[in-house]
């Protein structure tokens, strides 16, 4: 399903339904020093795919940690078709 962003009216209606004055008020318990101040080192105007590629490249610089959780939880490939089929509403 494609992402369709909320309109300003949608946001106002959702905030009114939960009793919050603004998005900032909704997250006011998060300390200011933990809030992100933009996206440093991400060029403006990049497409979603370009940003995802950039983030994958930067994550790869940290190395690829190995999962030792066990009990069937391990790194493995799941084909994209499986995700597409499993995400269909009929299977929820």
**DSSP bridge partners of 70:** 73
pLDDT value for 78: 78
Q: Is 80 domain-assigned?
A: no
Residues 35-59, buried b or exposed e (16+ Cβ, 10 A)? Answer: eeeeeeeeeeeeeeeeeeeeeeeee
User: From residue 40, how far is each of 37, 74, 80 by CA, in Å?
Assistant: 8, 33, 31
What is the distance between the alpha carbons of residues 85 and 1, in angstroms, rounded to a whole number? 12
pLDDT value for 2: 59
Q: Domain range spanning residue 40?
A: 8-66
pLDDT in tens, 42-87: 888 888 888 888 888 888 888 777 766 666 666 677 788 888 888 8
Q: Is 43 domain-assigned?
A: yes
Number of domains in the chain: 1
What is the distance between the alpha carbons of residues 55 and 42, in angstroms, rounded to a whole number? 9
Q: Is 2 domain-assigned?
A: no
């Amino acid at each position: 399903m494609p992402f369709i962003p909320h309109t300003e009216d949608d946001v106002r209606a959702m905030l009114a339904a939960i009793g919050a004055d603004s998005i900032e008020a909704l997250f006011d318990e998060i300390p200011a020093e933990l809030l992100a101040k933009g996206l440093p080192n991400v060029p403006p105007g990049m497409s979603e795919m370009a940003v995802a590629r950039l983030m994958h490249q930067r994550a790869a610089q940290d190395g690829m940690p190995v999962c030792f959780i066990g009990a069937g939880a391990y790194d493995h490939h799941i084909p994209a078709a499986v995700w597409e089929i499993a995400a269909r509403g009929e299977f929820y």
